[in-house]
Amino acid sequence: MKKKIQFSLVYRDMWQSSGKYQPRIDQLERVAPLIVEMGCFARVETNGGAFEQVNLLYGENPNKAVRAFTRPFNRAGIQTHMLDRALNGLRMYPVPADVRRLMYKVKHAQGVDITRIFCGLNDTRNIIPSIRYALEAGMTPQAALCITHSPIHTVEYYTRIADELIAAGAPEICLKDMAGIGRPAMLGKLVKAIKERHPQVLIQYHGHSGPGLSMASILEVCENGADIIDVAMESLSWGKVHPDIISVQAMLRDAGFEVPDINMKAYMQVRALTQEFIDDFLGYFIDPTNKHASSLLLKSGLPGGMMGSMMADLKGVHAGINMMLRGKGEPELTLDDLLIMLFDEVEYVWPRLGYPPLVTPLSQYVKNVALMNLMQQVKGEGRWTMIDNHTWDMILGKSGRLPGSLAPEIVALAREKAYEFVDTDPQLNYPDALDDYRREMDDNGWEYGADDEELFELAMHDRQYRDYQSGVAKKRFEDDLQRAKDAAMAKNGYSEEEIKKLKRAKADPIVSPDNGQVLWEVSVEGPSVAPYVGCKVQHDQVFCYISTPWGEYDKIYTGFTGRVVEICAPQGTTIQKGDVIAYIQRSDIFA
């Protein structure tokens, strides 16, 4: 029997790689005990970069979500781990050092055991401070190597970085193969090289399925000494996500490794719940192409999770590009034509921008530059004319040191714009800021939360946190969900009138008891904000008022809890007794 291999379920990354949103707190609480019952996971990825921001985007408190999801795993002795973007913390752009340090204190208190620290540039200057902060807070720092395939990303390149990170105190190394384009043989050699130099260091492999190399890569890294493998499970495994636990277990067991058994009854329950969450509302935001593998990803090197946003970008510019081509008397392009052109342009752009590993947010920077170049060339103009500020920060070294050399044309363009290149510690560009956020919390009368977790949330995601506190985020999400549902129905051939009828059929009408005028906001106790389509209403709250001809205000209650699907009478509408004011659906996805 060969060595023991452990498994980690990347449950939240499964969703992140599939679509726009994450499960809600109540859904995470329902699925966690069943994941424990599966009995095959030594670890579960519970939170981190992007995941927690999504909670804010639909009006949920991410701190409550993390505590709720980690609790069952903590009790069962299953380690929890988070995704940590080093200099960028949990967001897409750099974070002050005092906010980074606070993050580990907060996350450890919330029940997170391990932080997986990666820098999109593999710059150890960004990773090493996080190793130190994590150790100070009592967490295990797992330092990640962002895997890609290029002439400079060799075994020697990665081994040298691993040496630095281990010397700085990292007891674990993760091979983060975010696009799944790491070649199996190279990955095996890399694991072997690290293990030979540091046999005590634990190695975990994280590989996406996108271009189809992941199973071969898993076998290679295990044969060469890897300890833990990240896996997914139905209904979200494969495609652009990760290999399924059942297939990985079968492959490794047949190869002679010791692997844990799977409680298949619990597997099927988690599988059913995951599908239920998809059917509930998360599926509206999953691009169908993310369920497909694509060898084309080997050409561009872009992460599979970007395919959905990339196709949305291409669809957005498709009509405009064809209009320009028609105007020039040139043949129009299909979406497939544009996709291949974009991949070709990524291949052109990537080395000239210094070969940054194509992981969030650097993959977005490279893709955006390629897309802008493509559009400019269709117009008959040159490349590099539309580069955003974040991409310039990467080019100039403000986020860290690029692995490769910039092309002379990029250096010349920077000089032309009088931009300065820097090679100092990137953190020095982003001064401490917690005192400013404390003042904002105090001015607004907001609670700092247990272990300063609310202060941390504001400091990490300031714009989204303000929208969460004001209620704007929840309204925006509810509108987004309603549009997605309407679009899905329209795609299935329903007319606008048919969609309205279907919504009404599932809802209860709120009718007027008298003749009068509908008032949604009045200078008496009652609703301070007019209800809107998608908003939740309680059974005991005043829904609206009817101003009667004899000068009285009739309070209108729904009598049940639900969600508004249609407003039939806007503010000031004159209605008759029995007229419908609104339709409310009793079944509430947020109950």
pLDDT for the residue numbered 390:
87
Closest CA to 566 of 530, 517, 532: 532
φ, ψ of residue 384 to 5 degrees: the values are 70, 15
Q: How confident is the model at residue 529 (pLDDT cuts 50, 70, 90)?
A: low
490-513 mean pLDDT: 82
Tell me how far apart the alpha carbons of residues 80 and 93 are, in angstroms, rounded to a whole number. 25
Whether residue 313 is predicted with pLDDT greater than 90 in this model: the reply is: no
Q: With cut-offs at 50, 70 and 90, classify the pLDDT of residue 177.
A: very high
List residues bridging with 517 in a β-sheet.
547, 574
CA angle 210, 216, 217 (to 5 degrees): 75
Tens-place pLDDT, residues 534-568: 777 888 888 888 888 887 888 888 888 888 888 88
385's CB contacts (< 8 A; 6+ apart) are 372, 376
Angle between helices 362-378 and 335-352 (to 10 degrees): 120
Close Cβ partners of 300 (under 8 Å, ≥ 6 residues apart): 342, 343, 346, 347, 358
Q: What is the pLDDT of residue 421?
A: 94
* Nearest Cα residue to 397 out of 375, 373, 427, 370: 427
Buried b (16+ CB within 10 A) or exposed e, 130-147: bbebbbebebbbbbbbbb
CA 271 to chain centre: 21
pLDDT (0 to 100) of residue 487: 82
Task: Count how many Cα atoms sit within 13 Å of the Cα of residue 221 in the half-sphere of its side chain.
Answer: 31
Dist. CA 543–CA 579, nearest whole Å: 15
> Is residue 591 scored above 70 in pLDDT?
no
pLDDT confidence band for 409 (50 / 70 / 90): very high
Task: List pLDDT tens digits, range 432-456.
Answer: 999 999 999 999 999 999 999 999 9
The pLDDT, as a whole number, for residue 180 is 93
Q: So what's the pLDDT on residue 304?
A: 66
- 461-475, 476-490, 517-531: lowest mean pLDDT where? 517-531
Confidence category of residue 588, pLDDT binned at 50, 70, 90: very low
CATH T-level topology, domain 505-585: OB fold (Dihydrolipoamide Acetyltransferase, E2P) (2.40.50)
List Cβ neighbours of 175 (8 Å cut-off, separation of 6 or more): 144, 145, 147, 182, 187, 190, 191, 203, 204, 205, 206, 207, 221, 226
Spatial CA neighbour of 280 closest among 480, 483, 473, 485:
485
**Which comes out higher in pLDDT, residue 480 or 109?**
109
Residue 169: name the closest of 192, 137, 206 by CA. Answer: 137
Average pLDDT of span 112-124: 96
User: Phi and psi for 359 in degrees, rounded to 5?
Assistant: -130, 160
Confidence (pLDDT) at 587? 58
pLDDT at res. 572: 82
Least confident of 51-60, 212-221, 263-272: 51-60
What's the mean pLDDT in 364-382? 87
pLDDT at 492 over 90: no
Pairing of strands 516-519, 580-585: unpaired
Q: What is the mean pLDDT of residues 238-255?
A: 96
Task: Compute the chain's Rg from CA coordinates.
Answer: 26
Is-contact 43 78, C-beta < 8 A?
yes
Percent residues over pLDDT 70 in the chain:
96
**pLDDT band at residue 528, thresholds of 50, 70 and 90?**
very low
pLDDT at 308 over 70: no
Interatomic CA distance for residues 140 and 131, integer angstroms? 8
Three-state secondary-structure class, residue 358: coil
Q: What is the pLDDT of residue 172?
A: 98
Per-residue model confidence as pLDDT tens digits over 141-161? 999 999 999 999 999 999 999
The whole-number average pLDDT for the span 344-372 is 89
Identify which has the larger pLDDT, 393 or 298.
Answer: 393
For Cα atoms 382, 385, 389, give the angle at the middle one, nearest 5 degrees: 160
Rounded average pLDDT over 23-43: 97
pLDDT exceeds cutoff 90 at 522: no
Alpha-carbon distance 22 to 55, whole Å?
7
Bridge partners of 362, per DSSP, are none
Q: Where along the chain do its domains lie?
A: 297-428, 505-585
User: Is there a contact between 267 and 248 (Cβ–Cβ < 8 Å)?
Assistant: no
Write down the mean pLDDT value for the chain: 90
Tens digit of pLDDT for each residue in 261-293?
999 999 999 999 999 999 999 999 888 878 888
Residue 360: predicted pLDDT: 77
The DSSP bridge partners found for residue 45 are: 81
In the predicted model, what is the mean pLDDT of residues 126-130? 98
* pLDDT one-digit tens code per residue, 70-115: 999 999 999 999 999 999 999 988 999 999 999 999 999 999 999 9
- Of 131-135, 191-195, 321-325, 407-411, the poorest mean pLDDT is in 321-325
At 39, the pLDDT band (50, 70, 90 cuts) reads very high
> What is the token pair recorded at 454?
């609310």
Q: How many percent of the chain have pLDDT more than 90?
A: 62
